[in-house]
Amino acid sequence: MVAKLKTKTDSKAEFATFIKEYIKNPDKRKSLYGKRAIKKYGLMPSLENVLDDKQIVKLTDFLYNYEENTMLKEKKTRIVVKKITKGEKLFTKNCAVCHAKVLGITNSDGYENSYITTAPYISKLVAKLKEKTGSQEKFTQFIEEYVKDPEKRKSLYGKRAIKEYGLMPSLEGSLNNDDIKELSKYLYNYDTN
Ligand code: HEC
């Protein structure tokens, strides 16, 4: 509604005057939004006694800036959604340098950027290990073991990866047990779709 009324009025003042007028005295002849809406919903009732002039000014101001206001709100929620967990932080710091989260990005010009992968793609890795371990407990145990002491015999992901990339180095010392637990939880819940 706001977008349409903005195109139908020439200035903020005209927009405000229209709203003020319409709130007090809705009239089919005055409608700028279109008579189809009146047919569909019926004419809006007058709010003459509901809002005083000061309130109407505030309201028209809010409406005039509506898009801006909602966009700001959306920006705020996006930040909240993006808040990262401890597990994700640990992964970014200790694992992502080898285990890519993204395989490639297609730029707007259609050119494909792919990463050089030095270890299995994390999404594939998690999916396979979940299948091989069968429970969160075993999954966690395996990660704990492998991060501290990677060994060919222990591999569940498959020896092909070891042949292709070499054995993963031990990260014992760079992560404590709590960190590894947090990391396993993050990986177990990793969205592999
Ligand atoms: C220096 C590079 C490097 C880093 C850093 C690294 N990895 Fe790896 N990782 C590898 C490579 C290479 C493989 C494939 C060979 C293998 O399985 O050992 C692998 C395999 C794995 C496997 C599969 C093991 C198997 O064969 O079944 C797990 C689980 C794993 N990594 C977890 C982690 C976690 C969790 C971190 C972060 C704490 C991490 N990795 C950090 C290189 C790395």
User: Is the CB–ligand 1 distance for residue 100 below 6 Å?
Assistant: no
Q: Which fold has domain 87-188?
A: Cytochrome Bc1 Complex; Chain D, domain 2 (1.10.760)
Indicate the domain borders of the chain: 2-78, 87-188
Cα(26) to centroid(ligand 1), Å = 68
Pocket test for ligand 1, best of 90, 94, 98 (most atoms within 8 A of CB): 98
Cα(21) to centroid(ligand 1), Å = 68
pLDDT in tens, 17-32: 999 999 999 999 999 9
* Residue 18 φ then ψ, to 5°: -60, -50
The answer to which of 131-135, 145-149, 162-166, 169-173 has the lowest mean pLDDT is 169-173
User: Is the CB–ligand 1 distance for residue 127 below 6 Å?
Assistant: no
pLDDT in tens, 60-100: 998 998 876 666 565 555 555 567 889 998 998 888 888 88
H-helix segments, 25-158: 35-41, 53-64, 66-82, 86-94, 122-133, 136-148
Average per-residue pLDDT for the chain: 86
